[in-house]
Amino acid sequence: MEEATPEKLETPEKVVGIDVEILTYAHDTDGYAIESPDFSEERERLERAQRDLSRKEHGSANWEKQRQVVAERHANLKRKRRDFLHKLSNYYAREYDLRVQQATV
């Protein structure tokens, strides 16, 4: 079964170029700069959980509980990053007809 591919616009009206940066997350050709989200609080919670895990006796019941806490904190951070990227890409897909990715040199 073939998947239907979206039709390409012959002459797109709204076009944007996105340039991924180091200091900010991205710039687009409309002059908007997208800042990187601040996950410092989540990173601190993860670091504290990892320190707590390192103090437990490896293989004990308390170590296993703390290992699960660390895994949950990792998953939360990953989920928040993915949510940010999804919202950003969804915005550009809704607002513009064609996206052009520029490579920085």
Residue 58 and residue 99: Cα distance in Å, rounded?
50
Residue 47 and residue 42: Cα distance in Å, rounded?
9
Percent of the chain with pLDDT over 90: 49
Residue 66 and residue 72: Cα distance in Å, rounded?
10
Q: What is the dihedral of CA 58, 64, 69, 75, to 10 degrees?
A: 100
Q: Which residues contact 31 (CB under 8 A, 6 or more apart)?
A: none
Mean pLDDT, the chain, as a whole number? 85
**For the segment 47-58, what is each residue's pLDDT rounded down to a tens digit?**
999 999 999 999
Higher-pLDDT residue of 93, 55? 55
- Does the pLDDT at position 103 exceed 80? no
Residue 18, burial from CB neighbour count under 10 angstroms (0-12, 13-18, 19+): buried
Which residues are paired to 20 by β-bridges? 26
What is the DSSP pairing of strand 15-20 with strand 98-102?
parallel
Residue reference for tokens 């296993």: 64
Query: By three-state DSSP, how is residue 99 classified?
Result: strand
- Does the pLDDT at position 5 exceed 70? no
**For the segment 68-90, what is each residue's pLDDT rounded down to a tens digit?**
999 999 999 999 999 999 999 88
